[in-house]
Amino acid sequence: MYIPKTSYFSPTRVQKLAKEVISDCRQDRDRALKAFDYFKDMVAANPEDAKAKSEMNKALQLSQDSNDKVVRILDMMLKMTQTEMKQTPPKKEEESVTFASLRNNGKK
Write down the domain spans for the chain: 26-76
* pLDDT computed for residue 5 by the predictor: 80
Q: Map residue 2 onto helix, strand or coil.
A: coil
Mean local confidence (pLDDT), 71-76 = 91
pLDDT digits (tens, 9 = 90+) for 22-55: 999 999 999 999 999 999 999 999 999 999 999 9
Per-residue pLDDT for 104 more than 80?
no
* DSSP conformation letters of 56-69: HHHHHHHHHHHHHH
Q: E strands along 56-97, which residues? A: none
Do the beta carbons of residue 73 and residue 21 sit within 8 Å? yes
- The pTM for the full model equals 0.66
Cα(45)–Cα(39) distance, rounded to whole angstroms?
10
Do the beta carbons of residue 75 and residue 49 sit within 8 Å? no
